[in-house]
Structure formats: C-alpha cells, structure tokens
Amino acid sequence: MKLVIIEPLGVEKEKLLALAEEKLEGKVEIVYYDTRVTDTETLIERAKDADILAFSNLPFKKEVLEHCDNLKMISVAFTGVDHVAMDYCRERGILVSNCAGYSNTAVPELVFGMVLNLYRYIIECNQAVREGKDKTGLVGQELEGKKFGIIGMGAIGTRTAQLARAFGCEVYGYNRSPRETEGVTMTDMDTLLRECDIVSLHVPLTEQTKGLIGEAQLRLMKPNAILVNTARGPVVDSQALAAALEEGRIAGAAVDVFETEPPISEEHPLLKAPRLLATPHVAFATKEALYKRAVIVFDNIACYLDGKPQNVM
C-alpha cells in the first residue's frame, strides 16, 4: 500500500513523517511532496499510483481522480470536503475522511481578534502612531453588553459562543437542526440578523448554504452591525457585502475566506470596500491546530487500515 502525502500539511517534514511512522507502524510506503501544486498534470503524476492520498484544501476533481486506478482512501486534512469530487469518490467506492475538530480553538480565537480589530481600530491605531497622529476618530466600542449572533452552532460555533459570553455579550444562535446550547438564545436567522450587533458565520459550504448571506439578509442587519465570515467564501455574496459596506448599511465586516483560495485578485469587490478587514484564510492556521490536524489525518488512515474507518464523509 502506498500513501502519498501530496502537499505539505503545515507541520515540519521531519516531525510529520515521524508522526506518520508512529501512527501507521510501517504498514504503508510513504511518499511525501514538500511543495504545493495545483495544475492537473502534476497532481495526476503525483497521485496516480497512490492507494491512499493525504492533502488539505487542494481542489481534487474528477479529472485527477480518474487517473488514480489504485486509490482506495483519501484522508483530507481539512474540515470541509467541498473541494473534492465527492460524487465521483462515491461512484468509485473511494472512502473519504475529514479532520473535524482540529480548529475548534483556532477559528473562534481569530473571530475575536477580528472583532476587536474592528471595534477598537487596532490596525488604524498602529498606523496613526507611526504617522505621528493621536486618537482622533479612533474611539472604539466595548464588546460587553453587545448582542453576538452565531449562525451555525456546531463545535466551532459553540466555542465562539463560550468566548462571547466570557466577553459579557448576549449570545444568540441559529442552527438549521434544533440545538440547545447553554447561555445561548436560539432563534430564527432573520431575527438574529435584525437584532445582533455582531454576526459570525460557522456553517459548512453546501447547496443549502451557498449564498446564505445575500442582499436581502444584509438589509436585515442594523447599521451598526458587523459581519464575520471564517466559514466558507461562497456562503456570502461578496458583491452584496461590498455594496452594503460602501453604502454604509452595515458598519464593517471581517472576511477570512473568499470564493477561491488566496492570493485574491486585486479586483475583488471586497478589497475596495470600506471597513473591511481581510485575512488570507488563516483562521485554522495555528501551530497547535496544524499538528492536531496531522494527528487526525494519520489516525484516520490507521483506522482505515485496521478496517474501522472513522470521520467518513
């Protein structure tokens, strides 16, 4: 059996391969690539002889997978698998496992870094000091007492709610399936959008969530409200969000995810919008989270080899 780790997984090569050897106990031949590529030809060349593949959020489409005659299992080093041709995998009987849970701490912590930046003008304050200016126009707001809305009350949404409560916020939640969380007032999405000062998105990308936040939803939000998206880019209509910011219909937004992976075109509408804080898909990217992710990747493979697959999508 051949395992191909087709791209770096955010952990130093020596540490990653040592972890793989520990978890897999010599049951597979391991091939490791220390560069990330996206072109179809190179992906086919790297993957074509693999029995098992490991990668993070590389787009892996049918035109690559159909050349992988030996492929039996993919261990995706990511929570979502919308970048994988899942229909084709099911058709071929290729098992796909994900890495849910590794970023349950990292993502909520970035959410509050973003919110604090928007509320306290931290980036602008830094620039003001460097330019010899004072705090004029930079008086911020406190989180305490604000209504904090969370759309998607899974593990990450729940942890976000805990942090919001620690800041003294009133926390509201919306989830498609019924769910109760301590200290969270569950409500419908329209009410949450109307009432909350901060709205944070924590939903996967599916046919149901694509475009979940569009012009109609943004018009429900208060003029002083901010929107935070660390979920998936297509969950929000970027053109509609840019227009809402430009017209002052909401007070700000923080976006870590876009329709494609960074680097983002300088023509992207959000990059020209006022009061937009953008980060290059880093919510999950802490040293601790990436190591946790690698552990889950190899645990998934080990369980598959033992005939007890876990985290199957």
Provide the CB-side half-sphere exposure for 305 (13 A, CA). Answer: 19
Among 257, 253, 185, 186, which residue's Cα sits nearest to residue 225?
A: 253
Query: Which positions are catalytic?
Result: 232, 261, 281
Bigger pLDDT: 180 or 88? 88
User: What's the pLDDT score for residue 179?
Assistant: 86
> Residue 246 is encoded by which pair of tokens?
């430009």
Q: What is the pTM of this model?
A: 0.90
- Chain centre distance of CA 268: 19
Nearest Cα to 107, choosing from 200, 206, 9, 211? 200
Q: Which of the four pLDDT bands, split at 50, 70 and 90, describes residue 22?
A: very high
Q: Residue 234's pLDDT is what?
A: 97
130-157 tens-digit pLDDT: 999 999 999 999 999 999 999 999 999 9
- pLDDT computed for residue 80 by the predictor: 87
